[in-house]
């Protein structure tokens, strides 16, 4: 089924909120088989009101090489609801040497799944401008690659320098910014497929851990086209 990666060029852009919302909306599709949320940023359990996972996760699977079979991913999942399952981050440090080959296998396994998969990659570019290679590959090779960004010149400059070209942009808008949708599209050469206004109700839902169960209606409306 469809695999969607959510990533950013700068921290604090909102990839986790967007990924959880998309997974929730995809999971509720009446003709679908549910959705799988793959957490590679590490913040999904807190935002969804779940206990912090203590067992292995997708990071251990990526770093295990051929020692762990591809279908072992299913045993790592945590049930969030009848519609959504979570593949937690785990505690292993992901590096390009160990995880490179497994990134392609991960995408292959997700493509074989009957569910849609949403991958929260978080920030894939560090403060020095270096790209995390495994994350970049997952961002680039997913069926849909969504850059989540605010209309911030620094974020856009880092995204423009990234080797990953998104298929679409989720723009988190806020009052007082000089840049808008048209400027963002002109700078990056990629269409904005959703505009999500900065909303205190979303922050409250994240703080309360209720984002997946009681998604603010404004957030759902904003992301309807992206989902």
Q: Provide the 10 A C-beta neighbour count for residue 39.
A: 29
Specify the CATH number for the domain of residue 15: 3.40.50.300
- pTM across the whole model: 0.95
| Furthest-apart CA atoms within the chain: distance in Å | 52
- Lowest model confidence (mean pLDDT) among 10-14, 23-27, 132-136, 139-143: 132-136
pLDDT digits (tens, 9 = 90+) for 137-170: 999 999 999 999 999 999 999 999 999 999 999 9
Residues in the chain: 227
Coil, helix or strand at residue 120: strand
pLDDT digits (tens, 9 = 90+) for 190-220: 999 999 999 999 999 999 999 988 899 999 9
Q: Domain of 61? A: 3-223
Q: Provide the 10 A C-beta neighbour count for residue 65.
A: 11
Q: Provide the 10 A C-beta neighbour count for residue 150.
A: 21
How many structural domains comprise the chain?
1
For 104, residues 6+ apart whose C-beta sits below 8 A from its C-beta are 137, 141
By CB atoms closer than 10 A (0-12, 13-18, 19+), residue 157 is: middle
| DSSP run (H or E) holding 117 | strand 116-123
Cβ atoms 166, 4 nearer than 8 A: no
pLDDT value of residue 131: 79
Give 56-59 contacts, CB < 8 A, sequence gap 24+.
56/90, 56/91, 56/92, 57/87, 57/88, 57/89, 57/90, 57/91, 57/92, 58/87, 58/88, 58/89, 58/90, 58/106, 59/89, 59/90, 59/91, 59/92, 59/93, 59/94
Half-sphere exposure of 43 (CA within 13 A, CB side): 18
Q: Does 37 score more than 70 pLDDT? A: yes
pLDDT value of residue 128: 62
Alpha carbons 23 and 17: distance in angstroms, whole number: 10
Tell me how far CA of residue 80 lies from CA of 27, 53, 111, 210, in angstroms: 11, 12, 21, 12
- Check residue 9 and report its DSSP letter: S
């Amino acid at each position: 089924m469809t695999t969607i990666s959510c990533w950013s060029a700068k921290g604090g852009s909102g990839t986790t909120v967007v990924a959880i919302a998309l997974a929730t909306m995809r999971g509720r599709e009446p003709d679908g088989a549910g959705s799988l949320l793959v957490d590679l940023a590490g913040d999904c359990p807190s935002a969804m009101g779940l206990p912090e996972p203590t067992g292995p996760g997708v990071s251990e699977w990526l770093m295990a090489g051929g020692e762990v079979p591809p279908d072992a991913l299913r045993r790592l999942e945590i049930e969030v609801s009848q519609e959504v399952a979570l593949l937690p981050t785990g505690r292993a440090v992901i590096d390009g040497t160990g995880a490179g080959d497994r990134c392609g296998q991960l995408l292959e396994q997700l493509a074989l799944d009957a569910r849609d998969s949403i991958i929260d990659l978080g920030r894939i570019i560090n403060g020095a401008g270096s790209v995390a290679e495994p994350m970049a590959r997952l961002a680039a090779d997913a069926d849909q690659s969504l850059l989540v960004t605010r209309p911030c010149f620094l974020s856009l400059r880092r995204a423009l320098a990234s080797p990953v070209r998104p298929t679409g942009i989720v723009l988190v808008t806020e009052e007082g910014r000089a840049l808008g949708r048209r400027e963002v599209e002109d700078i990056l050469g990629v269409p904005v497929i959703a505009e999500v206004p900065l909303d205190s109700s979303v922050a409250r839902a994240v703080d309360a851990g209720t984002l997946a169960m009681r998604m603010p209606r404004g957030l759902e409306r904003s992301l309807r086209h992206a989902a």
